[in-house]
């Protein structure tokens, strides 16, 4: 795969996860005491908030799975390389995957901390 395509895919994943981690939970937490009426069915913002938290956790899980798959891809590259530049490329792939996983775990910690301290108001 082209180096530029890899960077573009990484950027899209980073922006998507950033939006899912920071923007959606904050928007869902606003005005949690109001209820919307949708065709006679009460829809509280608490339910929407719970759904958004579930979606964010799902996206974090998907990101971790992709990171682990990327590590496996780097390992396969390393195993099948015959030395030289191919080994360096494989090491770079594994290093990038580990950095991505660390970022995703960091986002997860931040989101769960914000959820616990601010939005659930249970200390």
Interval 23-77: pLDDT, tens: 555 555 554 555 555 565 666 777 777 787 888 888 888 998 999 999 999 999 8
Specify the residue for token string 């494989």: 90
111 in Cβ contact with 18 (< 8 Å): no
Give the start-to-end residue ranges of the domains of the chain: 44-123
The secondary structure of residue 39, as a DSSP letter, is T
Identify the pLDDT of residue 113.
83
Q: Is the pTM of this model over 0.85?
A: no
């Amino acid at each position: 795969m082209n180096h530029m395509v890899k960077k573009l895919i990484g950027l899209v994943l980073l922006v998507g996860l950033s939006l899912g981690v920071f923007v959606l939970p904050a928007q869902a937490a606003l005005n949690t005491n109001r209820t919307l009426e949708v065709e006679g069915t009460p829809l509280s913002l608490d339910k929407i908030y719970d759904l958004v938290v579930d979606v964010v956790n799902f996206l974090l899980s998907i990101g971790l799975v992709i990171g682990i798959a990327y590590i496996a891809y780097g390992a396969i590259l390393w195993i099948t390389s015959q030395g030289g530049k191919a080994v360096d490329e494989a090491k770079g792939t594994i290093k990038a995957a580990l950095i991505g996983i660390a970022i995703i775990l960091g986002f997860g910690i931040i989101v769960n901390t914000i959820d616990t301290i601010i939005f659930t108001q249970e200390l």
